[in-house]
Amino acid sequence: MPGLSLEMPTHTAIVDDYDVVRRVIAGEINAFGVLVRKYQGHVLSVVGNHIPYNQAEEVAHDVFVKAYQSLLTFKFKGGFKQWLSAIAVRTCYDFWRKEYRSRETPMSCYSEEEQNIVKRALATQCMQATFQENSRKEASELLNKALDRLSPEDRMVLELVYLEALSIKEAAGLLGWSIANVKIRLFRSRKKLRKILKDFLED
């Protein structure tokens, strides 16, 4: 599973994290640096999956600040890593909600750039080979353009379950939604993405 690994950390790692969290809650602010150092790679990996490369670090920063501010609500039951992952995913979701709200015009028609990307992708007989060899960046760009047409909710659920191959239960836990909600969203968003990609192909 790329980026968002949810495998259980070892008991020692959990206990170490608990100890650091207790120290931070007790007022030892600098102890939080241990958690930042330990989990910045993980947070950047989670955030990097959902947020454009150039904004990922800024969002990762927000994740750690939110984690610090919510530390008093940490239950000392599950692992700190899972708790932090949920904060990271929800921060990404908030990022897309803000982006969606600040979007001035709905993108109803395809830009010339988008059409060129699809044309280039379809120009060779074996698209997969093309993407692998020299156009992976373009494929990623095309996917982002397709995802940009979805609502933040659809985007997040699709990325987590369909693209990152997390289970519905895991995605529901990370987003703080019910399993039924994730299932319904996933069904609708896959349908929407299929339509968008088919439109790309037909244009």
Partner 1 sequence: MRDYIKLENSLIKAYREKEKPQGSEQLEMSVMQHIRSLGALSFKTSPFELFGQFGWRFAPAVCVVIALLTFWIVKLDFVPEDELAKFSIEQPIEANYVEIPGL
Which region, judged by CB under 8 A, interacts with partner 1, from 9-17, 62-70, 103-111, 178-186?
62-70
Q: What is the DSSP letter of 117?
A: H
In the block, tokens 């800024």 appear at: 58
147 CB contacts (<8 Å, ≥6 apart)? 155, 158, 159, 193
The only residue of 153, 154, 159, 170 in contact with partner 1, by rule CB under 8 A: 159
Measured from the CB atom, the residue of 104 and 145 that comes closer to partner 1 is: 145
The only residue of 5, 8, 15, 65 in contact with partner 1, by rule CB under 8 A: 65
d(CA 197, CA 202): 9
Neighbours of 90 (CB within 10 A): 16
Contact call for residue 31 and partner 1 (CB under 8 A): no
d(CA 203, CA 200): 5
Which region, judged by CB under 8 A, interacts with partner 1, from 53-61, 78-86, 89-97, 175-183?
53-61
Judged by CB under 8 A, the number of residues near partner 1 is: 50
Helices 179-202 and 136-148 meet at what angle, rounded to 10? Answer: 120
Contact call for residue 64 and partner 1 (CB under 8 A): yes
Phi and psi at residue 98, to the nearest 5°: -65, -45
* Site pattern 130..149 for partner 1 (x: CB under 8 A): -xx---xx-xx-xx--x---
Asked whether the beta carbons of 2 and 49 are under 8 A apart, the reply is yes
The only residue of 56, 84, 175, 186 in contact with partner 1, by rule CB under 8 A: 56
Asked whether the beta carbons of 50 and 92 are under 8 A apart, the reply is yes
Q: Which residues bind partner 1 (CB under 8 A)?
A: 2-3, 24-25, 27, 29-30, 32-33, 36-37, 40-41, 44-45, 48-49, 53, 56-57, 60-61, 64-65, 68-69, 71-72, 121-122, 127-128, 131-132, 136-137, 139-140, 142-143, 146, 159, 162-164, 194, 197-198, 200-201
